[in-house]
């Protein structure tokens, strides 16, 4: 894909090639590992999320019912697959809860996903 730029000196269009500084080959993806949508919780649970692709993560934010509760910590890494986790305490839950995970990598790619859990 090229952008056409008008060259004033010569009166003609000049094609320019946009540069891409992104150096990763896979799209940023995530999935919940130990929690399923609609699950009922009976105690404190460490939420675990598997992340693939993208560049180094700069944000791993978690929201419970639209309230920020913290950043996930790196639990494990196996090549391009990283597992992050955060403890969610039973006493902070309401009868119905939305858990939203917001990830952002150093290339400023963002991905979000949410699940609903019950107490």
Using only C-alpha atoms, the chain has a radius of gyration, in whole angstroms, of 21
The model's pLDDT over 52-91, given as tens digits with 9 standing for 90+, comes to 988 888 999 999 999 999 999 999 999 889 999 999 999 9
pTM: 0.76
Distance CA 41, CA 113 (A): 19
Are 84 and 51 a contacting pair, CB within 8 Å?
yes
Distance CA 65, CA 33 (A): 20
Domains and CATH numbers, the chain: 22-118 (2.60.40.650)
Using the structure block, give the residue that is written with the tokens 């939305």.
98
- 27 — pLDDT class (breaks 50, 70, 90): confident
Are 86 and 47 a contacting pair, CB within 8 Å?
yes
Q: Reply yes or no on whether the pLDDT at 11 is more than 50.
A: yes
């Amino acid at each position: 894909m090229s952008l056409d730029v008008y060259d004033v000196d010569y009166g003609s269009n000049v094609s320019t090639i946009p540069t891409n500084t992104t150096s990763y080959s896979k799209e940023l993806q995530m999935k919940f590992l130990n929690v399923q949508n609609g699950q009922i919780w009976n105690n404190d649970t460490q939420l675990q999320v598997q992340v693939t692709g993208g560049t180094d993560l700069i944000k791993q934010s978690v929201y419970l019912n639209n309230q920020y509760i913290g950043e996930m910590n790196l639990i494990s890494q196996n090549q391009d697959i990283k597992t992050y986790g955060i403890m969610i305490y039973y006493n902070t839950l309401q009868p119905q809860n939305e858990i939203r995970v917001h990830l952002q990598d150093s290339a400023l790619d963002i991905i979000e996903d949410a699940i609903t859990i019950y107490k």
